[in-house]
Amino acid sequence: MSGYLLSRSIQTVLTLFVMSVLVFVGLYLVGNPVDVLLSPTATPTERLQVIQSFGLDKPVWEQYWLFLTRALSGDLGNSFVFNQPALTLILNRMPATLELAFVALVIGLVFGIPLGVYAGLKPKSLVSRSVMTFSILGFSLPTFWIGLVMVMLFSVKLGWLPSSGRGDTVSVFGVPISLFTLDGLSHLLLPALNLALFKISLIIRLTRAGVLETMQLDFVRFARAKGLPERRIVLVHVLKNTLIPLITVIGLELGSLIAFAVVTETIFAWPGMGKLIIDAIAVLDRPVILAYLMITVVMFSVINLLVDILYSVVDPRVRLEGNS
């Protein structure tokens, strides 16, 4: 186990290193941030001053070395635009994104699993078939377009729910949460539903496939022969076996929810880190782009690690090794 953790940590550090080099060099080759930083009317002297103050006159490897040593001490550089530490900027925005992603995941599970189980138990019924058609639609509907339609319908036409912002938040241990106020909830509902739609479809399909497969196994027949009520067979035995592969997917999907939050946050003006990165890309705010990347790599690696560990807990047949 400890060997496994070690090899995974090494892998994460390597990934971080490779990604940071690629992006750093890439960004270095592409744009000159000086044009972003300066007003068009700046004099050559001002220009030189800015270049020197950001260390942009040094060769790329020296700049990278500077970035790396600072990063190791927790300083990912100051945002060119906000003139604040990039790390602080992102960490301030992170709770909003995590809240959105988490609520979307819960919505996905609450709707996805029951519908999937039903569709797996009665694959030929009319309800199941409509559920499956819905899931193809959910797969195909681009998130951003559904978001627009939601805004159009629920905010513009019906005026039921607000179309942008986060609403009132309550501070829990210093972290603002919108889940606990009515206003916050009303702001959260549309974006979370928008983000969840794709996941609902995915979870429906996975659960259905799992149930279909498990129902044909011998132990189900045995449980029936033993006279167990069908309810118990499905809810305990079949569901348990179906959940195992679901855990992996859910872990990965949490990551993709955080990434896809970029889209939803843009539509609903949700003040999360996705909105921040899009704005940063638009103005080539290097430190923010790099910091976002570093943070997401770490976040995803941690999620993946947790999923793997959870997986081995749920399914004792799985053993953790350096090579998956």
Partner 1 sequence: MSQDTNAASSVHAGNGQAHRSRSPFRQTISALLNDRLALVGILLVLVFILAAVFAPVIAPQNPYDLSQLDILDGRLPPGSASMNGMVYLLGTDDQGRDLLSAILYGLRTSILVGISSAAIALVIGASIGLVSAYAGGRLDSFLMRVVDIQLSFPAILIALIFLAILGQGVDKIILALIVTQWAYYARTIRGSALVERKRAYVDAARSMALPDRRILFRHILPNCLPPLIVVATMRVAYAIMLEATLSFLGIGLPVTEPSLGLLISNGFEYLLSGDYWISFFPGLVLLLLIVAINLIGDSLRDILNPRREG
Please report, as ranges, the residues that interact with partner 1 according to CB under 8 A. 11, 15, 23, 26-27, 29-31, 136-137, 139-145, 148-149, 151-152, 155-156, 163, 252, 255-256, 259-260, 262-263, 266-267, 277-278, 281-282, 284, 289, 293, 296-297, 300-301, 304, 323-324
Comparing CB distances to partner 1, the nearer of 29 and 225 is: 29
Q: Provide the 10 A C-beta neighbour count for residue 291.
A: 27
Contact (CB, 8 A) for 290 and 107:
no
What is the nearest approach in angstroms of partner 1 to the Cβ of residue 262?
7
Comparing CB distances to partner 1, the nearer of 111 and 268 is: 268
Q: What are phi and psi of 295, to 5 degrees?
A: -65, -45
What is the nearest approach in angstroms of partner 1 to the Cβ of residue 60?
14
What is the nearest approach in angstroms of partner 1 to the Cβ of residue 131?
14
- Sign of the CA dihedral 14, 19, 20, 26? positive
What is the nearest approach in angstroms of partner 1 to the Cβ of residue 311?
14
Q: How far apart are CA 54 and CA 133, in angstroms?
A: 55
Comparing CB distances to partner 1, the nearer of 3 and 31 is: 31
What is the nearest approach in angstroms of partner 1 to the Cβ of residue 73?
24
Comparing CB distances to partner 1, the nearer of 144 and 176 is: 144
Comparing CB distances to partner 1, the nearer of 185 and 283 is: 283
Comparing CB distances to partner 1, the nearer of 91 and 282 is: 282
What is the nearest approach in angstroms of partner 1 to the Cβ of residue 253?
9
Please tell me the number of Cα atoms within 13 Å of 138 on its side-chain side. Answer: 22
* Cβ-defined contacts of 252-257 (< 8 Å, 24+): 252/303, 252/304, 252/307, 253/105, 253/108, 253/199, 253/202, 254/101, 254/102, 254/105, 254/303, 255/299, 255/300, 255/303, 255/304, 257/101, 257/104, 257/105, 257/195, 257/199
Comparing CB distances to partner 1, the nearer of 1 and 29 is: 29
Angle at CA of residue 283, ends 94 and 55, nearest 5°: 95
Residues 6+ apart with CB under 8 A from 118: 127, 128, 131
Angle at CA of residue 189, ends 162 and 289, nearest 5°: 90
Comparing CB distances to partner 1, the nearer of 30 and 170 is: 30
What is the nearest approach in angstroms of partner 1 to the Cβ of residue 20?
11
What is the nearest approach in angstroms of partner 1 to the Cβ of residue 287?
13
- Sign of the CA dihedral 28, 292, 250, 183? negative
Q: Where are the alpha helices (DSSP H) in 233-285?
A: 239-268, 273-282
